[in-house]
Structure 1
Amino acid sequence: MNVLKLLSGLLGATLLMCYDFYQEWTIWQSLPKWTWVVLGFALLIFSVYAPASKDKMIHFYVEVAVMVYLVLLIILLPYLGGQSAVGFSMKEPFFWIVILITVWQLKSYRKRITNEAKDNKNK
């Protein structure tokens, strides 16, 4: 299941970023705009949806992998000839604010998972 979540996140991130950076591709005209956006967000949401299982640490690693991949796409796609319609750029301060907030949130989530694991182990 975690592999499916990882692939879902990678596919969703790729779909959304390619849609933003390469709007001139003819594939985007095969479906309405909202369909591509909803599909991309649905794949991303599926990948980061927290499971109720004991594999929370594996879920954490899936989230980290998807976030790192998303940042790499934002960095690499302009070098591959893409131009963001939304304005994703490493030069934007908002981009770095989002990165810092994401890192802080992931660190907090990891700390909570490890504390829960310690509490459950002590019981």
Structure 2
Amino acid sequence: MDARTCLIVDDSRIIRKVARRIVEGLGFEVDEAADGSEALAWCASALPDVVLLDWNMPVMDGLTFLRRLRALPGGDRPKVLFCSVEAAPDRIAEALAAGADDYVMKPFDGEILHSKFAEVGAV
């Protein structure tokens, strides 16, 4: 069986680094993108199993990326975890309505990410 893959999309290098360590610990191969546009280019060539997605990024934000991902052939397959400081219930509802599978508040730790991955059936 091929290794499961996760694309971490965040404009913060620090967040990507922390998330990478946690996600690799869950047994995933990890790729990183600094914004939604870069992430969409990744997904156009190879869809990951899971996308850990920041909301507020330059170039293309997380919500725009998510809508475009879901419109790609097979773009309904990756599990998408929105990962943001956005705590307003209407913003969370908007992310879920756009096709996110779950929502993770920043800051997160390994335990939180593991339980969220488990909830969406990724681990």
Q: What TM-score do the two structures reach when normalised by structure 2?
A: 0.28
Higher RCO (C-alpha 8 Å, min separation 6):
1
* Larger fraction in strand: 2
Taking structure 1 as the reference length, the TM-score comes to 0.28
The structure with more helix, counted as a fraction of residues: 1
| Structure with the greater alpha carbon radius of gyration | 1
